[in-house]
Amino acid sequence: MKNRTRSPLRWLDLERVGEGSRRETRNREVHFPPASVYRWWARRTTSVNDEIISAVERLFGRGNLLIADPFAGGGVIPMSALSRGHRVYAQDVNPWAVEGLITLLRLPTSDEINRGFQLLQTAAEPLLDRAYTAEIDAEFPATVVHTFRVAVAPCSACGLEQRLFPYAMVTLCQRKERDGKEALLACPLGHLFRGFKEEANQACPVCDFKVTPTTNYLAGRIARCPSCGATDRLDARADQGGWRWEAVLFELVAENQKRVFCEPTKALLSQSDGPHWKPSLGFGEIHRGQETAVLRRHGFNNWEDLYPARQRVVMENLLGFCEQIDSAEDVRSTLRMAIIGVAEMAGLASRWDRWYLKSYETMARHRFNFTTLTVEPNVWGCAAAGRGTLIRRVRMMQKASDWLQDHLEKRPSIQGPLSSTAQRTRPKKSIDIRVVQGSSERIVLPRNVVDVVLTDPPYHDDVQYGELSEPLRAWARLGNGHVQDEAVANGARKINGCFGEYSRTLARIFRECRRVLQPNGHLIFSFANREPRTWAALFEALQAAGFRASGYVVVHSENETHFEKNSLRSCNRDLILDVIPAGDEKILVWGSAQLPQHHDDEQDFLARVAAAFQHVGDLSGDWKYRLVEELCEAPFLMNPPEKR
């Protein structure tokens, strides 16, 4: 029998793992289509998890393992384990994650999804025609794909109502890489006109104000009145009575697929904001939190406030039609998930990329967005333009279904979703996956049945999963508000806001993981963070839960070429940590202590972290103070980021 205290991480091909991870993070929808079934944040890659599971198989000398993931989140680890023929236990405290995973596991075939989608389209055609069909002129019918609105609010000093365009250049007329020169510009008084992206001092044809396209009108979120020169913070203007959102621009697509920007006409304004759009659903209050605070500061009090009336009515009706079509329940649930997914493109909070002519979801970059120039998408969408539309989401559902058929031997048998208060029973051999919703401080399994716990825990306060999922949970009728017992620090709510409470929460979950592990089982997970105290809290939790270090490796985990990382010292690598239940047997912690000859600051930082990790299970004295001091001196935290 093999010595199972040996770390399986010794068998990872780090070069292959890193290359696969780079490919996957650069285009997840191509390499792992199931990621598009439901929105989740900070997913790790199948490339890393497939290799870890392969190494675990080598350690145990067999397949058909029971693999548990107590932070199932985006479903990557459960899908990797299922695709390799293992049984899975998946649990998450967030009901949106559980709803999404169940929908993914029950996806019907691509053809069945398509037939249901065609029935939905037939039912919705009259509504969609009223909502989005327009004319460029009398001879060219077109579809409205984006409606742009600008926030209008009065100056606190002189009372002048001002269109608060964030930049002088509202949008290019062609994507940046096509090298077009024409752009739509806005003067400080809010007049829109056509100009050129690189010319300074272009005169507004209405007021003759000179406009330079590079001007930032709202630097520091401060608005300056063009009449009296007084300045106001944007949140102060919101407090004075809120915004009036004025439709100022429309993007249309003609039958020849040509994209055209149009200024408002009476017909377009009536179509977008007429009194005939009467939504009926409410979604509840936006509670204050670490990320939701930006919405509350700028005048959004309830989740329905994020959506123009037309967008709400179209989505409400599509959900109603979905319940009425003659399709199986798994088809309806798939279409329902796709419709609800559009809610992340909230029409009064989604940001426009003026360089690449596309919209970004309201919770982009793990943060809620507030902008004074918003973009409402056509909910249904069209072939030529539009991110996050129903058409595109359904296509990704079909691709995900095809991926499941290609990667799973059979449709998985599912138990759940169960509550975390359910009776602890051993999964039947006939069940491929048990799905549980609730805090993993209580895992619904008996003692000593899990071969390996493979997971991806929250990285302290890096991602506020509960808050980011709130608008989606509201539309899905899964309850909005705080997710209770979430293992995420959130200082704004004073819940798990300190490192000590974060550590204690993780310790309780890790202790439960140790209870369900076989005596020679392993807990393996990835972790990344720039905050030294987070690492100290993590190691404290592992030791308090009765684990000791067994092995570690550093893997490339992120797309370092992404534009959002170009000017930041971001974490592009994960430390994969392997721990086993504490015991008297002496073990040699496996890991490469030597830095490569040409290493970077992040590798140096993680080497310092790993040096401390090797002593988990035997940490004593003032180790936390020494670790934090050592990490704070790392160049990765001290030096400014290099320009790429």
Q: What is the pLDDT of residues 90-146, one digit of tens each?
A: 999 999 999 999 999 999 999 999 999 999 999 999 999 999 999 876 667 899 999
Mean pLDDT computed over 323-339: 96
**Please, which pLDDT band fits residue 566 given cuts at 50, 70 and 90?**
very low
Q: What is the pLDDT of residues 613-640, one digit of tens each?
A: 999 999 999 999 999 999 999 999 875 4
Q: Give the pLDDT confidence score for residue 595 in this predicted structure.
A: 63
- Mean pLDDT, residues 212-222 taken together: 95
Q: Please report, for the chain, the start and end positions of each structural domain, with discontinuous segments joined by +.
A: 40-106+412-638, 128-310+344-387
Phi then psi for residue 137, to 5 deg, are: -155, -175
Q: What pLDDT is recorded for position 281?
A: 86
Please state the rounded mean pLDDT for residues 531-537.
Answer: 94
- Cβ contact 232:222 at 8 Å: yes
What are the residues facing 252 on neighbouring strands? 144, 260
Residues pairing with 590 in the sheet = 551
Q: 264-292 pLDDT, tens per residue? A: 999 999 999 999 999 998 899 999 899 99
Pairing relation of β-strands 87-92 and 517-527?
unpaired
Q: What is the mean pLDDT of residues 591-612?
A: 81
pTM: 0.93
Which fold would CATH assign to domain 40-106+412-638?
Rossmann fold (3.40.50)
Q: Please write the tens of the pLDDT for every residue from 47-88.
A: 999 999 999 999 998 889 999 999 999 999 999 999 999 999
Give 330-363 as a 3 state SS string.
Answer: HHHHHHHHHHHHHHHCCCCCCEEECCCCEEECCC
297 contacts: CB under 8 Å, gap ≥ 6? 235, 238, 370
Rounded distance between C-alpha atoms, residue 529 and residue 634, angstroms: 13
Q: List, in sequence order, the alpha helices (H) in 551-616.
A: 601-613
